[in-house]
Amino acid sequence: MTNFSVEAILRDACGTEFTGAVARIELGGRVVFERAYGATRADELARPVYCDSLFDLASLTKLFVSTVALHAVASGVLQLDAPLAQILTEWRDTDRERITLRMLLAHTSGMDSGADYRRILNENVERFALNAPLLARPGERVIYSDLGFIALGVALERARRASLQALASLLFPSPLGFRPSALRRLDIPATEDDGWRGRVQGVVHDEKAYLMGGSAGHAGLFGTAADVAALTETYLSAVRPGRAPPVGSALLPLSLAREAIDEQAGDSVLRRGLGWALKTNDGNSCGRLMDRSSFGHTGFVGTCLWADPARDLQGVLLTNALYFGRDTAPEPSPTLRQRFYEAMVEDFSG
């Protein structure tokens, strides 16, 4: 068996930086590395993690919801640059009436990033998100916003007259979905013991999504590494001349897929496409070696993906790194994600 640096990095991190993980790497649209590590938790309830294990995708949900939104644009149901106040009627005659779909997708709506769940326990989270005061004028600057994607989910459900679960099911194959069945929960890697719900396993970790019943525009999807890679491949193949999208996954017109991974909003920390984050500096989670054209996203519980069009290379890393808590000692530099992606480029770009 070939000795890959990514294998050594993940094997060494298992049990200290996560209890379970799946890594999947594709080169030229072909799987060149796929391994599972560890267990679902670090106690007597542990079960093995497999390559097809479901993970809480956390904010990787935003990429799937963005694709649902772009599909609505391609279908003529929505427009990128039309004010959403025609659908989100709460925004009429307010400082939010100029917010467009493009602004929500590029995180330039001016909406707040989120809210402490303890502040909104007795709130309707959807209503809270739609009415929270803006932090900036629409289009002024990048503010990464869960509230913006909650609003996006509401807009999609109203425009399509269907739930997010139904909309996701139309575009993406099972087992991807919100709210896994109770029978599957113990096979899903657990996340944080948050002091509110206890050890979270098989239900969404994100507190706002949990308060919304587990289905939201910013978080809530559970899926496999293959699910995430298939979505990424739709965009990666759109910018690789001569390479067709994977069979059955032509979700978007090529021009729209290309626009989604092109810069829509500049930022010194992380430039933004439509739903996607774009490599901006060597401190990003993709590390130093991936090309500046690279696009990706992270999820709070320990999930991430990055794709490098220059190399036709993508890597999905799903972990439950939050299992060990958010208040532990800071991760050494470079982070696990940066070590993984730098090793991926060294292992596979030759």
200-215 pLDDT tens trace: 999 999 999 999 999 9
Mean pLDDT of the chain: 94
- What is the pLDDT at residue 189? 98
3-class SS string, the chain:
CCCCHHHHHHHHHECCCECEEEEEEEECCEEEEEEEEEECCCCCCCCECCCCCCEECHHHHHHHHHHHHHHHHHCCCCCCCCEHHHCCHHHCCCCCCCCEHHHHHHCCCCCCCCCCHHHCCCCCHHHHHHHCCCCCCCCCCCCCCHHHHHHHHHHHHHHHCCCHHHHHHHHCCCCCEECCCHHHHHHCCCCCECCCCCECCCCCCCHHHHHCCCCCCCCCEEECHHHHHHHHHHHHHHHCCCCCCCCCCCCCCHHHHHHHCCCCECCCCCEECCCCEECCCCCCCCCCCCCCCCEEEEECCCEEEEEECCCCEEEEEEECHHHHCCCCCCCCCCCHHHHHHHHHHHHHCC
* Integer CA distances (angstroms), 95 to 12, 83, 99, 146, 159, in order: 50, 12, 9, 19, 22
Predicted local distance difference test score (pLDDT) of residue 330: 46
pLDDT in tens, 104-121: 999 999 999 999 888 899
Nearest one of 172, 173, 314 to 236, comparing CA atoms: 314
- Burial degree of 201 (CB within 10 A; 0-12, 13-18, 19+): buried
**Where do the domains of the chain lie?**
66-168
Digit-coded pLDDT (tens) for 235-283: 999 998 777 665 545 689 999 999 999 999 999 999 999 999 999 999 9
The per-residue pLDDT for range 152-176, each reduced to its tens digit, is 999 999 999 999 999 999 999 878 9
Residues 43-81 as b or e (16 or more Cβ within 10 Å = b) = eeebeebeeebbbbbbbbbbbbbbbbbbbbbeeeebebe
Mean pLDDT of 37-50: 98
The pLDDT value given to residue 251:
83
> 0.85 cut: is pTM over it?
yes
Percent of the chain surpassing pLDDT 70? 95
Residues facing 222 on adjacent strands? 56, 177
Q: Does 135 have pLDDT greater than 70?
A: yes
